[in-house]
Amino acid sequence: MISRYTAEIGTATLAAGLGLAAVIGALEFGIGWGDAGPESGAFPFYMGLLVVGASVGTLVQATVGRKGLQSVFLHKEEAVRVASFFLPMAAFVVVSLLLGLYVATAIYLAFVMWTQGKYRLVVSVASGIAAAVGFYLVLEFAFQVPILKGPLEAALGIY
């Protein structure tokens, strides 16, 4: 169980980190005002600074109003549901990068239908493959957009 307070602090810290990255990245260039207007680092620098400042503001606000933020951000069963959605999705990205989007699509759809939709394994696998083939026909034939492919397509001689 995560409290709203923890979530607020975490997100504000993340945002401040991104802002800080912009500030550091911008320092590589001039951040002043030359005779041709602002230098190329100025804009990202001040935007980064603004993000850091406002995130600190959120942090202070959250700490001061801590009592009001003890409500639950994520219940255990909600967390399980989100994880059960997010983890396969993250795995889908990893598999896509390794085996290509079509293979990943088939595996991912079949897995989710089987485990979460409670469909029979055969139905799930068949649907996954059918969807991948469908995407292939629409993208590669109708629109001629090549998308990420992996070793399986190479072995089948599909480009």
Query: What single-letter amino acid sits at 26?
Result: A
Number of residues near other proteins (by CB under 8 A): 79
Q: Which of 1, 32, 40, 87 binds other proteins (CB under 8 A)?
A: 40
Closer residue to other proteins in complex, CB, 143/155: 143
Q: Which of 93, 121, 122, 133 binds other proteins (CB under 8 A)?
A: 93
Q: Which of 32, 68, 122, 137 binds other proteins (CB under 8 A)?
A: 68
Q: Which of 99, 103, 109, 125 binds other proteins (CB under 8 A)?
A: 109
* Shortest Cβ 32–other proteins spacing (Å): 11
Q: Is 133 in the site for other proteins (CB under 8 A)?
A: no
Q: Is 125 in the site for other proteins (CB under 8 A)?
A: no
Residues sharing a CB contact under 8 Å with residue 1, sequence separation 6 or more, in sequence order: 72, 74, 75, 76, 79
Q: Is 54 in the site for other proteins (CB under 8 A)?
A: yes
User: Which single residue is written with the structure tokens 């293979």?
Assistant: 103
Q: Is 38 in the site for other proteins (CB under 8 A)?
A: yes
Q: Is 130 in the site for other proteins (CB under 8 A)?
A: no
Q: Is 36 in the site for other proteins (CB under 8 A)?
A: yes
* Shortest Cβ 127–other proteins spacing (Å): 7
Q: Which of 6, 13, 43, 126 binds other proteins (CB under 8 A)?
A: 43
CB environment 50-73: b (16+ within 10 A), e (fewer): ebbeebeebbeebeeeeeebeeeb
